[in-house]
Protein backbone atom coordinates (compact mmCIF):
# COMPACT_ATOMS: atom_id res chain seq x y z
CA UNK A 1 0.00 0.00 0.00
CA UNK A 2 1.22 3.49 -0.78
CA UNK A 3 0.59 6.60 1.27
CA UNK A 4 -3.05 7.27 2.08
CA UNK A 5 -4.47 10.48 0.59
CA UNK A 6 -5.52 13.14 3.08
CA UNK A 7 -9.17 13.09 2.05
CA UNK A 8 -9.33 9.33 2.68
CA UNK A 9 -7.99 9.87 6.19
CA UNK A 10 -10.61 12.55 6.71
CA UNK A 11 -13.35 10.20 5.50
CA UNK A 12 -12.10 7.48 7.84
CA UNK A 13 -11.97 9.91 10.74
CA UNK A 14 -15.54 11.05 10.06
CA UNK A 15 -16.68 7.43 9.81
CA UNK A 16 -14.98 6.61 13.09
CA UNK A 17 -16.61 9.57 14.79
CA UNK A 18 -19.98 8.61 13.31
CA UNK A 19 -19.54 5.02 14.48
CA UNK A 20 -18.64 6.18 17.98
CA UNK A 21 -21.69 8.43 18.07
CA UNK A 22 -23.80 5.55 16.78
CA UNK A 23 -22.35 3.23 19.41
CA UNK A 24 -23.03 5.78 22.15
CA UNK A 25 -26.54 6.34 20.82
CA UNK A 26 -27.20 2.59 20.64
CA UNK A 27 -25.86 1.80 24.06
CA UNK A 28 -27.62 4.89 25.36
CA UNK A 29 -30.91 3.62 24.02
CA UNK A 30 -30.33 0.14 25.45
CA UNK A 31 -28.27 0.67 28.50
CA UNK A 32 -28.50 -3.01 29.43
CA UNK A 33 -27.49 -4.41 25.99
CA UNK A 34 -24.18 -5.55 24.56
CA UNK A 35 -23.49 -4.20 21.09
CA UNK A 36 -21.45 -6.56 18.96
CA UNK A 37 -20.02 -5.50 15.64
CA UNK A 38 -18.47 -7.93 13.15
CA UNK A 39 -16.25 -6.66 10.34
CA UNK A 40 -14.18 -8.53 7.79
CA UNK A 41 -10.46 -8.12 7.10
CA UNK A 42 -11.16 -5.00 5.07
CA UNK A 43 -13.36 -3.50 7.79
CA UNK A 44 -16.62 -4.13 5.94
CA UNK A 45 -19.64 -5.22 8.01
CA UNK A 46 -20.54 -8.93 7.99
CA UNK A 47 -24.29 -9.59 8.20
CA UNK A 48 -26.03 -12.78 9.36
CA UNK A 49 -23.47 -13.82 11.93
CA UNK A 50 -24.75 -15.65 15.01
CA UNK A 51 -23.79 -13.75 18.16
CA UNK A 52 -24.34 -15.23 21.60
CA UNK A 53 -23.25 -14.64 25.18
CA UNK A 54 -22.35 -17.76 27.12
CA UNK A 55 -23.26 -17.34 30.76
CA UNK A 56 -21.31 -18.92 33.62
CA UNK A 57 -23.85 -21.75 33.71
CA UNK A 58 -25.53 -23.42 30.74
CA UNK A 59 -29.22 -22.64 30.49
CA UNK A 60 -31.83 -24.46 28.43
CA UNK A 61 -34.92 -22.89 26.96
CA UNK A 62 -38.15 -23.10 28.95
CA UNK A 63 -40.50 -25.87 27.88
CA UNK A 64 -42.59 -24.92 24.89
CA UNK A 65 -39.94 -22.83 23.15
CA UNK A 66 -40.15 -23.47 19.42
CA UNK A 67 -38.61 -22.37 16.13
CA UNK A 68 -39.14 -23.16 12.45
CA UNK A 69 -36.75 -24.27 9.69
CA UNK A 70 -38.87 -24.23 6.55
CA UNK A 71 -38.21 -25.72 3.11
CA UNK A 72 -39.22 -23.55 0.18
CA UNK A 73 -38.17 -23.88 -3.49
CA UNK A 74 -35.67 -26.59 -2.57
CA UNK A 75 -33.93 -24.36 -0.06
CA UNK A 76 -33.93 -24.26 3.71
CA UNK A 77 -35.36 -21.03 5.11
CA UNK A 78 -33.60 -19.49 6.96
CA UNK A 79 -30.13 -20.53 5.88
CA UNK A 80 -28.97 -20.21 9.48
CA UNK A 81 -31.19 -20.52 12.55
CA UNK A 82 -29.99 -19.77 16.09
CA UNK A 83 -31.84 -21.55 18.92
CA UNK A 84 -31.33 -22.25 22.61
CA UNK A 85 -30.85 -25.82 23.80
CA UNK A 86 -34.18 -27.45 24.51
CA UNK A 87 -35.90 -25.62 21.66
CA UNK A 88 -38.27 -27.70 19.54
CA UNK A 89 -37.55 -26.99 15.88
CA UNK A 90 -40.22 -27.73 13.31
CA UNK A 91 -39.17 -28.69 9.77
CA UNK A 92 -42.29 -28.13 7.66
CA UNK A 93 -41.91 -28.93 3.98
CA UNK A 94 -43.63 -26.14 2.05
CA UNK A 95 -42.43 -27.48 -1.31
CA UNK A 96 -44.39 -29.46 -3.87
CA UNK A 97 -41.62 -32.09 -3.88
CA UNK A 98 -40.73 -34.40 -1.01
CA UNK A 99 -37.64 -33.86 1.14
CA UNK A 100 -35.57 -36.17 3.32
CA UNK A 101 -33.94 -33.94 5.91
CA UNK A 102 -30.96 -35.17 7.91
CA UNK A 103 -27.99 -34.05 9.92
CA UNK A 104 -24.81 -36.00 10.67
CA UNK A 105 -23.69 -33.41 13.23
CA UNK A 106 -22.73 -35.08 16.48
CA UNK A 107 -24.46 -35.22 18.96
CA UNK A 108 -27.54 -33.58 17.46
CA UNK A 109 -27.83 -35.93 14.47
CA UNK A 110 -31.27 -36.89 13.25
CA UNK A 111 -33.19 -37.80 10.12
CA UNK A 112 -36.75 -37.17 8.98
CA UNK A 113 -37.77 -39.83 6.43
CA UNK A 114 -39.24 -38.56 3.17
CA UNK A 115 -42.16 -36.25 3.74
CA UNK A 116 -44.19 -33.25 2.71
CA UNK A 117 -46.06 -30.72 4.83
CA UNK A 118 -45.97 -31.21 8.60
CA UNK A 119 -45.52 -34.99 8.68
CA UNK A 120 -42.93 -35.12 11.47
CA UNK A 121 -43.06 -33.83 15.06
CA UNK A 122 -40.52 -31.12 15.87
CA UNK A 123 -36.93 -32.07 16.68
CA UNK A 124 -35.65 -31.03 20.10
CA UNK A 125 -31.98 -30.04 20.21
CA UNK A 126 -30.62 -30.76 23.69
CA UNK A 127 -26.90 -30.22 23.10
CA UNK A 128 -25.15 -27.05 22.04
CA UNK A 129 -23.22 -27.08 18.77
CA UNK A 130 -23.54 -26.56 15.05
CA UNK A 131 -26.11 -28.71 13.25
CA UNK A 132 -25.44 -28.95 9.51
CA UNK A 133 -28.63 -29.84 7.63
CA UNK A 134 -28.95 -31.61 4.30
CA UNK A 135 -31.55 -33.33 2.13
CA UNK A 136 -30.94 -36.87 0.93
CA UNK A 137 -32.86 -36.17 -2.28
CA UNK A 138 -31.55 -32.69 -3.12
CA UNK A 139 -27.81 -32.59 -2.48
CA UNK A 140 -27.56 -28.85 -3.00
CA UNK A 141 -29.79 -28.09 0.00
CA UNK A 142 -27.71 -26.89 2.93
CA UNK A 143 -28.50 -25.02 6.14
CA UNK A 144 -27.25 -24.61 9.70
CA UNK A 145 -28.81 -24.57 13.13
CA UNK A 146 -26.63 -22.95 15.78
CA UNK A 147 -27.67 -24.45 19.11
CA UNK A 148 -26.50 -22.39 22.09
CA UNK A 149 -27.02 -23.05 25.80
CA UNK A 150 -27.86 -19.46 26.62
CA UNK A 151 -30.96 -17.33 26.13
CA UNK A 152 -28.74 -14.43 25.01
CA UNK A 153 -28.30 -14.63 21.24
CA UNK A 154 -28.90 -12.59 18.09
CA UNK A 155 -27.83 -12.28 14.44
CA UNK A 156 -25.91 -9.35 12.98
CA UNK A 157 -27.93 -7.05 10.76
CA UNK A 158 -26.97 -5.55 7.39
CA UNK A 159 -24.55 -3.23 9.22
CA UNK A 160 -22.81 -6.18 10.85
CA UNK A 161 -24.24 -5.18 14.22
CA UNK A 162 -26.17 -7.25 16.77
CA UNK A 163 -27.41 -6.15 20.15
CA UNK A 164 -27.51 -8.81 22.85
CA UNK A 165 -30.29 -8.29 25.33
CA UNK A 166 -28.20 -8.73 28.48
CA UNK A 167 -26.10 -6.64 30.78
CA UNK A 168 -22.39 -7.32 30.48
CA UNK A 169 -21.18 -9.30 33.46
CA UNK A 170 -18.00 -10.89 34.64
CA UNK A 171 -17.64 -14.53 33.51
CA UNK A 172 -19.61 -13.97 30.34
CA UNK A 173 -18.15 -15.03 26.98
CA UNK A 174 -19.39 -13.39 23.80
CA UNK A 175 -18.90 -15.59 20.75
CA UNK A 176 -19.76 -15.41 17.07
CA UNK A 177 -20.31 -18.09 14.41
CA UNK A 178 -21.23 -18.23 10.75
CA UNK A 179 -20.48 -20.83 8.07
CA UNK A 180 -18.68 -18.03 6.23
CA UNK A 181 -16.08 -17.49 8.97
CA UNK A 182 -12.70 -19.19 8.65
CA UNK A 183 -10.97 -17.70 11.71
CA UNK A 184 -9.73 -19.92 14.53
CA UNK A 185 -12.30 -20.59 17.25
CA UNK A 186 -10.13 -18.76 19.80
CA UNK A 187 -10.50 -15.56 17.78
CA UNK A 188 -14.29 -15.86 17.66
CA UNK A 189 -14.89 -15.59 21.40
CA UNK A 190 -14.20 -12.80 23.90
CA UNK A 191 -14.33 -13.07 27.69
CA UNK A 192 -15.86 -10.10 29.47
CA UNK A 193 -13.70 -9.14 32.41
CA UNK A 194 -14.86 -5.62 33.14
CA UNK A 195 -18.60 -4.99 33.15
CA UNK A 196 -18.28 -1.46 31.81
CA UNK A 197 -15.92 -2.28 28.97
CA UNK A 198 -18.14 -5.14 27.82
CA UNK A 199 -21.03 -3.05 26.50
CA UNK A 200 -19.49 -2.74 23.01
CA UNK A 201 -17.50 -5.53 21.43
CA UNK A 202 -15.93 -5.49 17.98
CA UNK A 203 -14.75 -8.57 16.12
CA UNK A 204 -12.51 -7.89 13.17
CA UNK A 205 -11.87 -11.10 11.27
CA UNK A 206 -8.33 -12.08 10.37
CA UNK A 207 -9.10 -14.50 7.57
CA UNK A 208 -11.09 -13.93 4.40
CA UNK A 209 -14.77 -14.89 4.33
CA UNK A 210 -16.34 -17.71 2.39
CA UNK A 211 -18.85 -16.36 -0.15
CA UNK A 212 -22.40 -15.91 1.16
CA UNK A 213 -24.84 -18.74 0.51
CA UNK A 214 -27.17 -16.41 -1.38
CA UNK A 215 -24.39 -15.83 -3.87
CA UNK A 216 -25.30 -19.04 -5.67
CA UNK A 217 -25.09 -18.74 -9.39
CA UNK A 218 -27.77 -20.43 -11.48
CA UNK A 219 -25.80 -20.07 -14.68
CA UNK A 220 -24.59 -23.67 -14.58
CA UNK A 221 -26.51 -26.81 -13.86
CA UNK A 222 -25.01 -28.95 -11.05
CA UNK A 223 -26.35 -32.33 -11.97
CA UNK A 224 -26.45 -35.53 -10.01
CA UNK A 225 -25.12 -37.51 -12.96
Q: Which residues sit at the interface with other proteins, rule CB under 8 A?
A: 96-98, 100, 102, 104-105, 109, 111, 113-114, 116, 130, 132, 134, 136-137, 139-140, 142, 144, 179-180, 182, 210-211, 213, 216-223, 225
CB of 132 to other proteins, least distance (A): 5
Residue number, 102 or 151, with CB nearest to other proteins: 102
**What does the angle CA 83 – CA 104 – CA 206 come to, to the nearest 5 degrees?**
65
CB of 225 to other proteins, least distance (A): 6
Residue number, 124 or 159, with CB nearest to other proteins: 124
Q: Which of 103, 42, 75, 80 is nearest to 180 (CA)?
A: 80
Residue number, 23 or 137, with CB nearest to other proteins: 137
Residue number, 30 or 138, with CB nearest to other proteins: 138
What is the b/e burial string over 178-214, where b = at least 16 CB atoms within 10 angstroms of the residue's CB? Answer: bbbbebeeeebebebeeeeebbbbebebeeebeeebe
Contact 125, 85 (CB under 8 A): yes
Amino acid sequence: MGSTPAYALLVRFCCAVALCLLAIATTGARADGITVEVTDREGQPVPDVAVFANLPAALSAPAGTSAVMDQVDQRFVPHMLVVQTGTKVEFPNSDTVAHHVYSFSHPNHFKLPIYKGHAHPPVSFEESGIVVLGCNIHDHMLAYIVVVDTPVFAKTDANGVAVLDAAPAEGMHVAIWSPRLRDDDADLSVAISDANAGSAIAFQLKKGLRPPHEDQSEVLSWSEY
